Amino acid sequence: MKDLKARFRTKEYINPRTGSKSWRVSGTKRDRTRVQENYADPEAARCRQIELEGEYHVRPSDTTLRATRLTDTQVHLAELAFARLSDDADLTRAVDNWLRDGKRNHVVESVRVDEAIIKFKAWLDGEGDGTGNGHCTLRDTSRPSLRGRVEVFGNSVRNLRVNDVTLEVVENFLNKLRSREANPVTAVTCDNYRRDISRFFAWCIERPRRWTATNPCKEIRIERGEKAPPAILTVAQCKDLLDAAAKRKLGAYVAVCLFGGLRPFEAARLTWDNVNVHDREIRLEGTQTKTGRPRVVAICDTLFAWLKANKGQPFYPSGWHKQFRAVKKAAKIFKWPVDVMRHTAVSHYFRKTGSYGQTAEQFGNSEAIIKKHYQGRVSSDDTKKFYALRPKKGTK
């Protein structure tokens, strides 16, 4: 058999400028690309010559032989890695990401879902997690629904290890909620489940637990559909509500919600220390607001009159729930939409001022929300009547 003609050669090379010695591999590839590479090690130069000769004489294939210093195990692992990548260049980026984040987030040991939920509920109840700064800071109003929905999830799925819960497991659970024959949940409720389950997995990811490195809810999206416009109270309903509240020592609470636009839990956390009657403003601290940012609410003449008439009255007295149910019953308001007093306040305030920016600042919303939900909801005549609702003389 005739020997194949050598297309590449290796020879000793002396650099004319520095006098250093190296070994040069030179030749021409099939695509006419000229190769001229220098190596300090003669063995490395020889390996490169063999590799180039192999590339020239052997047709390209998945099993082309190449000179390499990798062990058989390393070559096999490299093949597995490249097979999982869509672009060969992703390999170095994947290694960099692993060295930067992967090793730190690597799950050494993962508990099962039931055990994780027990510890999560203990954390919600105030138990620390050993980090020195790991106590739950969620609002009291947020914890019951979060605890309940996570419990429902835990009781409805297999008791897998937290690290083994996949996107499909969560999606199947949410789909069953939507499709069950008895009391199927709405898209909004389903999305609330997704949010709370996501919060649970985010807690599982945090140190010192590290029970999983990924949140299976991260890529789940639920279309809520077109949201209904916010419901508001009529002026007549506002009058009946204020009259009933004044008789049951809830005049201050209803007034700050109806004319100041405070959310129910904001009013529940309000004290007279937050009320500056002299400068006519209410300052809500970040711990008292939905957004976690402080807000200053200007006190209009109508709200000032109600606060003056109910000065010192607790905004959220003992037995509030029972008393407020009685107030709504006395006012003959049997359907109570969420935040209906706040929506009423924002609608009338915007009609009175006509300013998106001023309204957004007063109520802690964005101008886009004001434009979308509150403009044109009430008439000018209704707004005049609304702000004319003053306490009766002798009301206390």
pLDDT digits (tens, 9 = 90+) for 309-347: 999 999 999 999 999 999 999 999 999 998 999 999 999
Integer CA distances (angstroms), 346 to 181, 262, 324, 368, in order? 39, 10, 22, 13
Provide the terminal-to-terminal Cα distance of the chain, rounded to the nearest Å: 115
Give the Cα separation of 227 and 224 in Å (integer).
7
Q: Residue 372: which residues within 8 A CB-CB, separation 6 or more?
A: none
| Spatial distance between the Cα atoms of 275 and 254, rounded to a whole number of angstroms | 15
* Fold (topology level) of 235-387: hpI Integrase; Chain A (1.10.443)
Query: Could you give the CA distance from residue 116 to residue 245 in angstroms, rounded to a whole number?
Result: 45
How far is 77 from 71, CA to CA, in rounded Å?
10
Spans in the chain with pLDDT lower than 70: 1-5, 58-67, 98-108, 129-134, 394-396
Looking at residue 1, its pLDDT comes to: 44
Please give the pLDDT value at position 272. 96
b/e code 247-265 from CB counts within 10 Å (16+ = b): ebbbbbbbbbbbbbbbbbb
Domain boundaries, the chain: 6-71, 113-205, 235-387
Amino acid at residue number 19: G
Measured CA to CA, the distance from residue 245 to residue 328 in angstroms comes to: 9
Average pLDDT, the chain: 87
Q: Which helix (H) or strand (E) holds 138?
A: none
Question: For residue 370, which amino acid is it?
Answer: I
Q: From CA 185, how far away is CA 181, in angstroms rounded?
A: 10
pLDDT tens digit sequence for 229-249: 889 999 999 999 999 999 999
User: How much is the pTM?
Assistant: 0.59
d(CA 87, CA 79) in angstroms, rounded, equals 13
Residue range 2-59, pLDDT digits in tens: 455 678 899 998 888 777 888 899 998 887 888 888 888 888 888 888 888 877 776 5
